Amino acid sequence: MTGISTNLIHNKTRTNDVIPPINVSTTFKYPENPNDYIKAIDGKLEDYFHNDLYYYSRVAHPNAELVEKALAKILDGYVVAYSSGLAAFFALLTHVNPKQLVIGQAYHGCHGIAKIFARNHGLTILDLRDSASFDRLQKGDLVHLETPVNPHGLNLDIEHYAKLAHEKGAFLLVDSTFAPPPLQYPFNHGADIIMHSATKYFGGHSDLLAGLLVVKDQEKFHNLVEDRIYLGTNIGNLEASLLYRSLKTFELRVLRQSENCEKLVKFLNDNKLKFKNLKQVFHGSIQFEKLDNQITKHAPTFSLTLISEEFARNFPSKLKYFVHATSLGGVESLIEWRAMSDASVDPTLLRVSVGVENVEDLIEDFRSALSE
């Protein structure tokens, strides 16, 4: 099988530029003979894409298509790109239109969208952590599983939840944002749909917003693309160019970030007793229930709790190489006192997104800040 980097670096573009041109056009000239065009598209959606028949960017444009085709090779399915991760989740809920949604600990924005559906369409929201929720599931319902889960970076068992969902005819969506390939392949464990906030590891430079849905069958792909035209949530032209640029270094970045993270987590966990300000460290690599079968290398994001809310609030300012900011996945390390953006979490908790810096510098930074 062709490797991840090879697949992401070598793709057919429309020009002979080594790098596809940044394309900022919203609209494209029709062919000389409009009849050719009308005949070609003839209501068949795939023809919007594969015959260079771009005509309006909300429908399709060259760099979005390039991103989708490149990512399809490494994500083992059909990829639909969106203007953000939440736009992808919104599109999925709109498409599946479940009566009930099972959702547990997950990105706060996904809960926000679920609440809008509850308000507008009477969606029933059930808790993933309550086994009774699965007894109530019906055909066509949706189970949303985020793993590794925000903000802790701990793993949940995809196979377990796939079985519970499928027994009732429900779909399993896995938000795999924290562990893109080659860390984890949710389809291999029973997921029906995969979601990514491409803002994070695929983007990797904290300079774009994008989201992805990955599905296994072509019909679902077409339906999602058709919905997207009317939801108006296609990825933007410039963002698609930035994202395609990012994909070329994707594998290098993610592997280095994962490795750095595991080393930093090990240092902190091994020295937990030495640092009196450090309470607990959370990460898949030190998780009690190992899921080695599901995740081969761990998410480059972890959390820690500190001795007090005040110490946690001030901790980011003691670090040199971790920017105090929300988000994750970029080449630069970030740390966030998580209560800043998600009021539901422990106020002593900090979430850390580990970048590609020299790991000794990152470890030294934490050693010195925790020793203060």
Ligand X SMILES: *Cc1c(COP(=O)(O)O)cnc(C)c1O
What are the counts of helices (DSSP H) followed by strands (DSSP E) for the chain? 13, 12
* Closest distance of CB 343 from ligand X, Å: 17
* Closest distance of CB 175 from ligand X, Å: 5
From the list 199, 303, 348, 353, which residue makes contact with ligand X (rule: CB under 6 A)? 199
Q: Does 214 bind ligand X (CB under 6 A)?
A: no
What is the helix (H) or strand (E) element at residue 49, kind and residue range? helix 46-50
Q: Give whichever of 68 and 365 is closer to ligand X, judged by the CB atom.
A: 68
Q: Does 202 bind ligand X (CB under 6 A)?
A: no
Q: Does 177 bind ligand X (CB under 6 A)?
A: yes
Q: Does 146 bind ligand X (CB under 6 A)?
A: yes
Rg, the chain, Cα only: 21
Q: How many residues bind ligand X (CB under 6 A)?
A: 14
CA distances from 288 to 148, 209, 364 (A): 14, 34, 27
* Closest distance of CB 2 from ligand X, Å: 28
Mind giving me the DSSP string for 132-175? HHHHH--TT-EEEEESSBTTTTB---HHHHHHHHHHTT-EEEEE
Residue nearest to ligand X according to CB distances in the complex:
85
- Contact 181/64 with Cβ under 8 angstroms? no
C-alpha angle 321-336-126 in degrees, rounded to nearest 5:
150
Q: Does 150 bind ligand X (CB under 6 A)?
A: yes
- Of 183-191, 192-200, 245-253, 353-361, the window that binds ligand X (rule: CB under 6 A) is 192-200
- Of 84-92, 114-122, 162-170, 183-191, the window that binds ligand X (rule: CB under 6 A) is 84-92
Report how far residue 96's alpha carbon sits from residue 210's, in angstroms, rounded to the nearest whole number: 21
Report how far residue 149's alpha carbon sits from residue 76's, in angstroms, rounded to the nearest whole number: 22
Q: Whose structure tokens read 């997104």? A: 353
Q: Does 187 bind ligand X (CB under 6 A)?
A: no
From the list 8, 86, 142, 214, which residue makes contact with ligand X (rule: CB under 6 A)? 86
Contacts of 25 (CB under 8 A, 6+ apart): 57, 61, 237
Strands 124-127 and 211-215 turn out to be unpaired
From the list 48, 90, 107, 315, which residue makes contact with ligand X (rule: CB under 6 A)? 107
From the list 62, 85, 153, 186, which residue makes contact with ligand X (rule: CB under 6 A)? 85
Q: Does 180 bind ligand X (CB under 6 A)?
A: no
Tokens of 55: 């005509």
Binding track, positions 310-349, relative to ligand X; x by CB under 6 A: ----------------------------------------
The amino acid at residue 267 is: F
From the list 109, 140, 182, 190, which residue makes contact with ligand X (rule: CB under 6 A)? 109
Reference 367, options 267, 282, 261; nearest CA is 267
Q: Give whichever of 150 and 241 is closer to ligand X, judged by the CB atom.
A: 150
Helices (H), ranges, 211-335: 218-231, 237-247, 250-270, 309-314
- Of 83-91, 132-140, 214-222, 359-367, the window that binds ligand X (rule: CB under 6 A) is 83-91
From the list 7, 133, 197, 233, which residue makes contact with ligand X (rule: CB under 6 A)? 197
Q: Give whichever of 48 and 107 is closer to ligand X, judged by the CB atom.
A: 107
Q: Which residues bind ligand X (CB under 6 A)?
A: 84-86, 107, 109, 146, 150, 175, 177, 197, 199-200, 209, 211
